A and B are shown apart, each in its own frame.
Chain A
């Protein structure tokens, strides 16, 4: 969550810097080194890369689920599906929810939902037939 906010803050920073510099040009040097910006943390871009990596992983798991169903694919699917969904819904929240408190509430709710989802999928894999088998059974209906 802070990473996503940092990302959008990083994007808007150059415009704000430009406006601030235009307003106080002689005192530009009193600005000092920027706390965020070019020397800042790589959290946002790492998050982005992580999102792509999990997407590719999930994509690969789909044929794997069809060709070699089993507990390994079941648990990997549970993890990749939950994480991909968690990050995706996180982006939706970042886009549409505004205000410090609503954002915090929404993200906390998302964490709870994702935790429940992962727990439920693992429970299903362990105590029930497992995701791959379940899809196969459902489709044979």
Chain B
């Protein structure tokens, strides 16, 4: 079982990934005159009106919010480039080259600098299509995992973060089973319990969708579907017996 307690420490929330992405540089065109800013994270400026300058994304968004600049969308966010990238993603199995934080950067710009992006709806739909195609590739590639090191070229930060917890635990389980290390007994009992819990919902499901005093033809449909899904033939048989024999008796005994 790929369960592992204590993996919470190593998880990054999406906000933390966005925080890291906000340090990427973007180009802005300020409309004010300002002296240079000497931050702890670096020196930027001086700012002259209509002269483009590179600043971190968080600074650009702060200035944009106060109406002090316009943000130039990055080179990779043009419609031509995105269409090319989308075609490339659809045709090949590998990932196309995109900035590591393209998801966060595009989302922040769509939310707060929409008027600075030409054809924003087109760009937005292209980015979403690219995200869908790439994530579909990630899901299919997950089937090819082995216990050894897995490498991926050009995967983006948000995609990595989404599968981090699951793939880490799965790889660890593969590694453990393949190497058959001497695992202490304590670990094994902990691993066994979650497995039993997983089996129970599948049996309960066929009970839950059928109420206590049902209509016969309605049960039969559900039972038939349950059979097809191969949930639990024995339970199905017992339900049919219940419907055929017990319910008519209850109907007769129920006061009208």
A and B, one complex?
no
Q: Which residues of B contact A (CB under 8 A)?
A: none
Q: Which residues of A contact B (CB under 8 A)?
A: none
